[in-house]
Amino acid sequence: MITVVSGLPRSGTSLLMQMLHAGGHPILCDDQRLPDPDNPRGYFELEKVRSLERDATWMADAEGKAIKVVSFLLGRLPPGHEYRVIFMQRDLGEVLASQARMLERRGQPAGLEPALMRAHFERHLESVTKWMSGEPQIRVYSCEYAAVLRDPEATALAIAEFLETPLDIKQMVSAVDPTLYRQRV
C-alpha cells in the first residue's frame, strides 16, 4: 500500500506530510526542494514525481511509504499498487492567494486572473474526484485544511484510522503550526 498526499498546490499537502513524518509514517522524499518562505518547514517532495507523466517505474519504491503527488498527476499513478489518498481540501480563494504569492516569489508570471483560474481548478477538482471514485485501487480520505488547524488531534486520529496504521498522534499534533496559516479568506 502506498500513502499518497494530494490536492492542489498550496492546499496543505506539505503540512500533512509533516504530520505523517512526525507521526512516524515512512516518507519517500528527497532534499531537492529546500524549505523557503512559502514552506518554511519543507516541502517533503520527491523530484521524480514532477516527471511522473513520463516515468512511473520507481513507484514500487514508495510501497509502505507516503509520497506527495499533486492532484493533476493522480491519473498517472501506475496500476499494480493499492493507494490510500489523503486529499487536501482548502478554500479556493486561499489557495489562489497563496499560489499568487508563491509565483511572485519565484519570479513567475501571475497568469490568469483568479476568477478564471478558479473555474479551471473547480473543473479539475470535480473531474479528479469523479475519477478517483471509480478506481478500485484507490481509497480516498478528504481532509479539510481548516479542520486540520482547528482540531489537529481529530485529524491525526482520523488519518491513522484511514491508513490503518499506528501513528504517534501527539507528535502529529505538534507538527501543526497555526501561525503558518497565512492566506485566510
Partner 1 sequence: MFEPKVKIDRGLYATLQRAAKIADYSSVDEFIIHILEKAAAEIEQAQSEQEIRKRLQGLGYLE
Residues at the contact surface with partner 1, assessed by CB under 8 A: 9-10, 33, 50-51, 53, 70, 72-73, 99, 102-103, 106, 108-109, 111-112, 116-117, 119-121, 123-124, 127
Contact between 23 and 168 (Cβ < 8 Å): yes
- Name which of 27 and 117 has its Cβ closer to partner 1: 117
C-alpha separations of 132 from 80, 82, 142, 159 in Å:
15, 12, 12, 18
Residue 50 beta carbon to partner 1: minimum distance, rounded to whole angstroms: 5
SS3 138: strand
Residue 92 beta carbon to partner 1: minimum distance, rounded to whole angstroms: 13
Residue 86 beta carbon to partner 1: minimum distance, rounded to whole angstroms: 17
The separation between CA 174 and the C-alpha centre of its own chain, rounded to angstroms, equals 18
Report the alpha-carbon distance of residue 84 to residue 92 in Å, rounded: 24
SS3 69: strand
Residue 153 beta carbon to partner 1: minimum distance, rounded to whole angstroms: 30
C-alpha separations of 178 from 75, 85, 144, 149, 181 in Å:
32, 24, 14, 6, 5
